Structure 1
Amino acid sequence: MNNVNEPVYEPSGPAPIRRLQESLINRIAAGEIIHRPASALKELLENSLDAGATAIRVTVKDGGLKLLQIQDNGCGIRQSDLPILAERFTTSKLSTFSDLSKLTTYGFRGEALASISHVAHLSVVTKTKTSACAHKAHYSDGKLVPAQPGQSEEPKPCAGNDGTTITIENLFFNTPTRLSALRNTSDEYARILDVLTKYAIHNAKVSFSCKKAGSSSPDLSTPSASTTRQAIKMLYGHSIEKDLLQATVNESANNSKVWSSEVYFTSANYQAKKMIFLLFINSRLVESSRIKRAIENVYSGILPKGAAPFVYLSIKIDPRSVDVNVHPTKKEVHFLDEEEITTQICDSLQAKIAEGSHSRVFEYQTLLTGEIEAPSQRNDKKRKGVPTESETAIDEDQDDTQASGSGIKKVQPRHKVRTSLKDRTLDSMFPVANPSQIDGETSSLKSKEKTEVRSKDIKESECFLTSVTRLRSRIAKGKHKLLTEILEKHTFVGIADINRCLSLIQYSTKLYLVNHAALAEELFYQLGLRQFGDFSRLKLEPPPSLHELIKIAVDAEETSEETTLSKSEIVDRIVGILQSRRPMLSEYFSLNISEDGLVQSLPLLLRDYTPNLDKLPLFLMRLGPQVNWMSETECFESFLRELAYFYIPGPTIIEPIPNISGDDIEEDEAGSKAERWQIQHILFPTMRRYLAAPKSLLDRDVVQVANLPDLYKVFERC
Structure 2
Amino acid sequence: MNHEMGSSSTKPEPMPIKKLSENVINKIAAGEIIQRPASALKELIENCLDAAATSIRVTVKDGGLKLLQIQDNGSGIRKADLPILAERFTTSKLSTFSDLSKISTYGFRGEALASMSHVAHLTVITKTKADGCAWKASYSDGALVDSKTGQKVDPRPCAGNDGTTITIEDLFYNTPTRLAAIRSPSEEYARILDVVTKYAIHNPHVAFLCKKSGSSSPELSTPSSSNIANAIKLLYGNSVAKELLDCDVHSGPAGRGQKSAGGQDRLDDEAMDIDEDEDAQASFDKPRSWMAKAYFTNPNYQAKKFVFLLFINHRLVESARMKRAMEAAYQTIMPKGASPFMYLSLQIDPRAVDVNVHPTKREVHFLNEEDITDQIADAVQEKLAEKGQSRAYEYHQTTLTGSLTGEGASTAKKRTRLEREQDDENLIVADDSASDDVKKAPSSSTPALDSTKRKIYSHHKVRTSTQDRTLDSMFPISSHAPSKLRSGTSLEADSNTSASNTPTSKTKDIKESECFLTSVKNLRKAVLKGKHRQFTEIIEKHTFVGIVDQHKCLSLIQYSTKLYLVNHDALAEELFYQLGLRQFGDLSHIKLDPPPPLRTLLEIAVGAEESTTESKLSKEQIVDRIEKILLDRREMLSEYFSLAISDEGNIESIPLLLQNYLPNLDRLPEFLMRLGPQVDWGSEMECFDTFLREVAYFYTPIPSLKSSVSKTTSVQIASSEQVEPEEGELWQIQHALFPAMRRYLVAPKSLLDNDVLQIADLPELYKVFERC
**TM-score, normalization: structure 1?**
0.60
Report the Cα offset of residue 477 of structure 1.
11
2:322 maps to 291
- Do 2:602 and 2:673's aligned partners in 1 also have CA atoms closer than 8 Å? no
Aligned to 1:567: none
Secondary structure of the equivalent of 1:261? strand
Q: What letter corresponds to residue 310 of structure 2 in structure 1?
A: L
Q: Hey, what does 2:680 align to over in structure 1?
A: 645
Match of 2:283 in 1: 257
Residue 123 of structure 2 aligns with an amino acid whose one-letter code is S
**C-alpha distance in 2 between matches for 1:79 and 1:584:** 57
The answer to whether the Cα contact below 8 Å between 2:201 and 2:231 also exists between their aligned partners in 1 is yes
- Does the 8 Å contact 1:125/1:166 carry over to 2? yes
Query: Which amino acid in the other structure matches residue 70 of structure 2?
Result: I
Give 1:371 shift: 3.9
Task: Report the alpha carbon displacement of residue 142 of structure 1 after superposing the two structures with TM.
Answer: 0.7
User: Distance between the aligned counterparts of 2:384 and 2:106, measured in 1?
Assistant: 33
**Is the 2:575–2:744 contact (alpha carbons within 8 Å) kept by the matching residues of 1?**
yes
In the aligned structure 1, how far is the partner of 2:226 from the partner of 2:48?
19
Aligned partner of 1:622 in structure 2 is: none
Residues 162 and 373 (structure 1 numbering): CA distance in 2 closer, same or farther, change over 3 Å?
Answer: closer
Match for residue 49 of structure 2? 49
Indicate if the aligned counterparts of 1:261 and 1:313 stay in contact, CA closer than 8 A: yes
Partner of 2:624: 588
**Closer, same or farther: CA 152–537 of 1 in aligned 2, 3 Å:** farther
Contact 2:60–2:69 (CA under 8 A) maintained in structure 1: yes
- More deviation in 56-65 or 135-144? 56-65
Letter of the structure 2 residue corresponding to residue 324 of structure 1: V
Residue 65 of structure 1 aligns to which amino acid in structure 2?
L
- Kindly state the Cα deviation for residue 18 of structure 1 after the two structures are TM-superposed: 2.1
In structure 2, what is the equivalent of residue 354 of structure 1? 385
Pick one of 302, 327, 334 that aligns with 2:365: 334
Paired residue for 1:504, among 511, 520, 531?
531
- Aligned counterparts of 2:330 and 2:125: Cα–Cα separation in 1: 48
1:688 is aligned, of 683, 693, 700, to 700
Indicate whether 1:127 and 2:90 are aligned: no
Three-state SS of the structure 2 residue aligned to 1:153 is: coil
- Identify the residue that residue 566 of structure 2 maps to in structure 1: none
**Contact 2:298 2:389 (C-alpha < 8 Å) held by counterparts:** no
Tell me which amino acid in the other structure corresponds to 1:131: D
Per-residue Cα deviation, 1:436-495 (whole angstroms, up to 9, x for no partner): xxxxxxxxxxxxxxxxxxxxxxxxxxxxxxxxx9xxx999999999999999xxxxxxxx
| Distance change in 2, residues 1:498/1:117 (3 Å) | closer
Cα–Cα, structure 1 residues 377 and 290, in superposed 2: closer, same or farther, change >3 Å?
closer
Query: For 1:392 and 1:647, how far apart are their aligned partners in 2?
Result: 58
Provide, for residues 252-307 of structure 1, a one-character-per-residue CA deviation record: whole Å limited to 9, x for no partner. 36860322111011111122122111110110011111111211211111111222
Paired residue secondary structure (1:645): coil
Q: Percent identity?
A: 51
Encode CA deviations 1:115-142: one digit per residue, 9 max, x unaligned.
1111111111112222222222111111
Q: 1:389 aligned to 2:422?
A: yes
Distance 2:56 2:226 in 1: 15
1:268–1:486 distance in 2 versus 1, CA, 3 Å: closer
Using the TM superposition, give the Cα deviation of residue 237 of structure 1 relative to its aligned residue in structure 2, in angstroms. Answer: 1.9
Counterpart position of 1:657: none
| CA gap 1:649/1:188 in 2 versus in 1, 3 angstroms | closer
Cα 1:133–1:584 change in 2 (3 A) is farther
Name 2:733's counterpart in structure 1. Answer: none
Separation (CA, whole Å) in 2 of partners of 1:335 and 1:321: 5
Contact in 2 for aligned 1:73/1:164 (Cα 8 Å): yes
Q: What corresponds to 2:202 in structure 1?
A: 202
CA contact (8 A) 1:536 1:590 kept: no
Q: Is the 8 A contact 1:499 1:650 kept in 2?
A: no
Give the number of the structure whose residues are more often helix, by fraction.
Answer: 1
3-state SS in 1 of match to 2:679: helix
Cα distance, 1:228–1:90 mapped onto 2, change above 3 Å? same
Matched AA of 2:422: E
Equivalent AA in structure 1 for residue 155 of structure 2: P
- In 2, Cα distance between equivalents of 1:143 and 1:188: 28
State the distance in 2 between where 1:308 and 1:128 align: 46
Asked if the contact 1:497–1:503 (Cα under 8 Å) also holds between the matched residues in 2, the reply is: no
Question: Structure 1 counterpart of 2:317, which letter?
Answer: V
Residues 584 and 67 (structure 1), Cα distance of their counterparts in 2 relative to 1, 3 Å cut: farther
Distance 1:167 1:286 in 2: 25
Classify 1:77/1:242 alpha carbon distance in 2 versus 1 (closer, same or farther; 3 Å): same
Distance 1:126 1:45 in 2: 15
Partners of 1:485 and 1:293 in 2: CA distance: 28
Q: Judging changes above 3 Å, is the alpha-carbon distance between structure 1 residues 225 and 583 closer, same or farther for their aligned structure 2 residues?
A: farther
Q: What is the SS of the residue equivalent to 1:167?
A: strand
1:451-470 superposed matches below 5 A: none
Which residue identity does 1:271 align to in structure 2? Answer: Q
C-alpha separation in 2, matches of 1:115 and 1:682? 45
1:114 matched to which residue of 2? 114
The 1-side partners of 2:22 and 2:408 are apart by: 78
Residue 305, structure 1, aligned to residue 341, structure 2: no
Deviations 1:404-448 (A, max 9, x none): 859xxxxx99x999xxxxxxxxxxxxxxxxxxxxxxxxxxxxxxx
Q: Given residue 27 of structure 1, which amino acid in structure 2 is its aligned partner? A: K
Kindly indicate whether the alpha-carbon contact (under 8 Å) linking 1:503 and 1:516 is maintained by their aligned counterparts in 2.
Answer: no
Aligned residue identity for 1:119:
V
Structure 2 residue runs without a partner (length 5+): 254-278, 285-289, 399-405, 439-460, 467-488, 500-506, 513-521, 543-570, 585-597, 630-646, 651-671, 703-742, 748-772
Match of 1:323 in 2: 354
SS at match of 1:239: helix
Q: What is the CA distance between 1:47 and its match in structure 2?
A: 0.6
Q: Residues 144 and 127 of structure 1: is their aligned pair in 2 closer, same or farther, counting only changes over 3 Å?
A: same
What is the CA-CA distance between 1:81 and the residue it aligns to?
0.8
Aligned pair count reads 518
Q: CA deviation at 1:111?
A: 0.4
- Report SS of the residue matched to 2:305: coil
Which residues of 2 match residues 574-653 of structure 1 at below 5 A?
A: 588-589=624-625, 644-645=679-680
CA contact (8 A) 2:144 2:152 kept: no
Q: Within 5 A, what are the aligned runs for 1:429-468?
A: none
Code of the residue aligned with 1:244 in structure 2: it is: L
1:90 Cα deviation after fit: 0.5
Code of the residue aligned with 1:292 in structure 2: it is K
Question: Contact 1:503 / 1:515 at 8 angstroms: preserved in 2?
Answer: no
Residues 477 and 247 of structure 1: is their aligned pair in 2 closer, same or farther, counting only changes over 3 Å? same
How much is the aligned-residue C-alpha RMSD, in angstroms? 5.4
- Give CA deviations for 1:628-681 in whole Å, capped at 9, x if unaligned: xxx9979xx9996796226999999xxxxxxxxxxxxxxxxxxxxxxxxx99x9
Gaps of 5+ in 1: 407-411, 418-468, 488-495, 523-527, 544-580, 592-602, 604-630, 653-677, 691-702, 708-718
Distance of aligned partners of 1:641 and 1:338 in 2 relative to their CA distance in 1, 3 Å threshold: farther
Give CA deviations for 1:19-54 in whole Å, capped at 9, x if unaligned: 221111111111111111111111111111111112
- Native 8 Å contact 2:196 2:208 kept in 1: yes
CA distance in 2, matches of 1:638, 1:166: 42
Decide whether aligned partners of structure 1 residues 165 and 485 sit closer, same or farther in structure 2, where only a CA change above 3 A counts: closer
- Provide the C-alpha distance between the structure 1 equivalents of 2:44 and 2:696, rounded to a whole number of angstroms: 45
Q: Aligned ranges for residues 266-277 of structure 1 at < 5 Å?
A: 266-277=297-308
Taking the TM superposition and a 5 Å limit, the aligned residue runs for 1:24-39 are 24-39=24-39
Aligned-partner Cα distance in 2 for 1:401–1:140: 74
CA contact (8 A) 1:9 1:15 kept: no
Is contact 1:147-1:153 (8 Å) kept?
no
Check conservation: 1:204, 1:224, Cα contact below 8 A: yes
Distance 1:585 1:269, change over 3 A: same
CA distance in 1, matches of 2:682, 2:294: 46
Counterpart of 2:641 in structure 1 is: none
2:63 — aligned with what? 63
For residues 127 and 94 of structure 1, the distance between their equivalents in structure 2, rounded to whole angstroms, comes to 23
